[in-house]
Chains A and B, each alone.
Chain A
Amino acid sequence: MSDDLSVQAPFPGVFYRKPDPESPEFVQVGDDVQADTVVGLIEVMKMFQEITAGVAGKIVSFEVENEGAVSAGQVLLVVR
């Protein structure tokens, strides 16, 4: 587990895994991501901000479901 890297919410809000309801998810478990890969959006007070992985690796799990409430620093997904 020591190789696991977490991607955290930089600020609180609602986490979205898709750019809009009709589109597929930005990324899935098993996808390889780079530091600048967009992994989701966080809506804070009606403003949508793209969240990038910040680390490189393969996505192991999502810790927050689509449209789930998140607090600042909360782990969104785990990358290995």
Chain B
Amino acid sequence: MTGLTSIRRVLVANRGEIAVRVIRACHDLGIEAVAVYSEADAQAMHVREADAAVAIGPAPAKASYLRVEAIIEAALEAGCQAVHPGYGFLAENADLPRACVAAGLTFIGPDADVMTAVGDKVEARQMAEEASVPTVPGSGRLATPAEATEFAEQVGYPVMLKAAAGGGGRGIRRVDDSATLEAAFVAASREAEAAFGDGGIFVEKCIVDPRHVEVQVLADTHGNVVHLGERECSLQRRRQKLVEESPAPGLPEEVRDQLWAAATRLAAHVGYTGAGTVEFLVDSATLDFYFIEVNARIQVEHGVSELVTGIDLIAEQIRVADGQPLSFGQEDITFRGCAIEFRVNAENPRQNFFPSPGQVELLKLPGGPGVRTDTGLDSGDTIQPFYDSMIAKALVLGRTREEALARARRALAEFEVTGVHTTLELQRSILDWKLFTRAEFHTGSLDDFIVEWVARGDH
């Protein structure tokens, strides 16, 4: 193992399963990990597993895990050289890398300016275009319905009308034909004016029933950029991913090659460093793909890429932050088999996924060949109401997708949680769902399946 030169102690600025995951990577690298915790998490697994722990404030995340100055203070107080943000909380807030640099700490992630640039939708799209990465065809700011009609005729219906100053879904309208465009434009403009004080509208081609496919990239500070293949993440409930897998089933080699090349081209163009994800929408019918956004962090579903490549992404993030060149090139990365992840959440899928915090009486994780579980809980631990609902991620690896599916059935049958409601029963049912086993799904499929599943009731 390559020793680290400057990092001997890492502050893990997160909680739950990802904090535990980062602590494990630190220990694998022979370095120490320091946890931070809110008042609600004093007994949490990430605190138990760390070499030291620092209290950072009251239970609400705003008063603890989201406070940049509390994180910096904790890192300095505990004698850390580096800070790992995990995902969520401050992971994509450029104030954290800036504050780290100002305090003489190494931030384990991309440069603050790169993070800011890729985090801005307009700027990210522009950089994608510069790097010849396809983006969803869109107009500039339009003043009249006539201009919108002209653009829509060019790219073809349906189109989306979006507020130029937009955000949060407000001012977004789908238009299926020219007959309804004018009225929709006027309404969208009025809504945008009311919501943002700016009635500016732009038009985007609507990708019907797309798949969500993302590419994992890894880049060092010496100009080397590699990818670790793609992940299929179309199985989402209201934009929350529930099942992810790698490779993306049914994508032809040449499409995968193009996706990989586009993602690494963009990462190189923006000067990305560390682990990042480039997200795309893939048109199910034509297999044309379009850039959506860059996620400048480690992602929840990173484990499926680790299983198929054998590379520890968190350890690589730390090595890159330490200034080391990647110890492998693209040709050294090989993909074996199929990995699938199931997110088991403390929610009641029969009550519209209402959160179910509380004490986990029993947590029996699956094991055996080809099974990995990442969790931040043990039997007897409490799932706090203040943070996300994740109980565990169950990952399986098989030589083929069929073998992975068989392992998943076995693993989810072994998996037991009592004391709180969970999504386990739904996840088991997904494994019997034909559209899933045949991989004939898009980003809207799971919402439809859940409606059917709830209507079917217990069985």
Contact = CB atoms under 8 A, between A and B. Distances in A.
Contacts of A68: 60
A44 B354 CA distance: 9
Interface string A6-46: 00000111100000000000000000000000000000111
A56 interface: no
B60 A45 contact: no
Interface centre among B58, B355, B357 (most CB of A within 10 A): B355
Contacts of B387: 45
A33 to B, nearest CB: 25
A67 interface: yes
B62 A69 contact: no
A11 B60 contact: no
B388 A13 contact: no
Interface string A67-79: 1110000000000
A69 B388 contact: no
A45 B62 contact: no
Given A67-B60, A67-B62, A69-B40, A14 B386 contact: yes
B66 to A, nearest CB: 12
A14 B385 CA distance: 8
Q: How large is the interface on B (under 10, 10 to 19, 20 to 34, 35 or more residues)?
A: 10 to 19
Q: How large is the interface on A (under 10, 10 to 19, 20 to 34, 35 or more residues)?
A: 10 to 19
Interface string B388-401: 11000000000000
Contacts, number: 37
Contacts of B386: 13-14, 45, 69
B114 interface: no
- The A contact surface, by secondary structure, is strand
A47 interface: yes
Interface of A: 11-14, 44-47, 67-69
B236 to A, nearest CB: 15
Nearest to B39: A69
Contacts of A44: 355, 357, 385
19 contacts: A11-B385, A12-B357, A13-B357, A13-B385, A14-B60, A14-B385, A44-B355, A44-B385, A45-B347, A45-B355, A45-B385, A45-B386, A46-B388, A46-B389, A47-B354, A47-B355, A67-B60, A67-B63, A69-B386
Nearest to A13: B385
A53 B62 CA distance: 26
Contact of B58 (A12, A46, A69): A69
B376 to A, nearest CB: 14
Contact of B346 (A14, A45, A67): A45
B59 interface: yes
A3 B221 CA distance: 68
Given A44-B385, A45-B388, A46-B388, A69 B355 contact: no
Contacts of A67: 60, 62-63
Enumerate the 4 nearest inter-chain pairs by beta-carbon distance, A residue then B residue, closest first.
Answer: A45-B355, A12-B385, A69-B59, A45-B389
